[in-house]
Amino acid sequence: MFHRSIVAVLVVILFGCGGGGGSTASPASASTSTPTPGQTASPTDLTRLPIGDGKVVTSAQIGYVDSCQTTFGGGGATSTGAWYNASSGTFNLTIKPAVQGSVAWPAHSFSVTIAGATRQLVSNDLPNHTSGTYPIATTDPAHQYDGNPNSILSQSIQFNVPANPVVAAGATCLSLGPIGVMLTGSVFYNALDAGGRDAVAHEILDACSGHPDQSGSYHYHAFTPCFTDSGTGHSALVGYARDGFGIFGLRDVDGTLMTDAKLDACHGHSHSITWDGVTQTMYRYHMTYEYPYTLGCYKGAPV
């Protein structure tokens, strides 16, 4: 289990995954109305999503990141553009630029196996989709906002999590770095960048909402549009957190978009679900367009 003494996208919705351009589009299920002056932030309107800067706590709270780290060294994107509206506290995801490029990763490797009470997640962290070109080229328009100098490198990841996780007596804080792995084979981090800011609002990501850190680990901070999450009902499983609980996509049981108001402080809830082929009532996390996007804390005991 992580302790507080340990210092350790959202999405860029585009016309396709791993494309070379920076044009954006939005899914039909999300609102993309043109905001007028004085409008407040909306958890599902991609043109006026609430900026999560400052929403870092040391005790679990709905809509915040319960962070093991309380001081941050900075780094990441150096400036913002037209998508970022500090005065209204919102950002427009539909016009946020994306890192150019369409790089394939044929060496991608990811497996999920169950042995007794343990689910083993093994990955080299390379995604099963294309990525942008990293380091970000100086000729890429994204470079003026975020000069990410890191390359995507193969990693050695193995998480041995409970096959049937249980809710712990209390919530556990989130460290920086991997807090789970998507079924794409790449890991996801919490909502914070290295400076403790809202990573999705600030950092320039590729068409699949990913980028590498200084170790070369390709990762997401929120849902990747390069994982299919369409339909009229409840979203499918999209990955696993490091406490063993599943994380599901953007939609509730009635097909509507999830928001913080529907979830608890760890960004999840309980109801009937099919888990490893068995229908049962259990806890699970959800991704949202609204900060903190993935997890707010661990509901179980993280490995």
Structure tokens at 275: 């888990």
Domain residue limits at 64: 1-303
Residue 237 has pLDDT above 60, yes or no: yes
Count structural domains, the chain: 1
d(CA 58, CA 45): 29
Q: What local confidence, expressed as pLDDT, does residue 165 receive?
A: 97
In this prediction, residue 288 has a pLDDT band, given cuts at 50, 70 and 90, of very high
**What is the distance between the alpha carbons of residues 280 and 277, in angstroms, rounded to a whole number?**
10
Under DSSP, is residue 199 helix (H, G, I), strand (E, B) or coil?
A: helix
Tell me the average pLDDT across 182-190: 98
Q: Is 50 exceeded by the pLDDT of residue 2?
A: no
Is the dihedral angle over the CA atoms 240, 242, 244, 248 positive or is it negative? negative
Distances (CA, A) of 28 to 36, 232, 238, 255: 21, 12, 20, 12
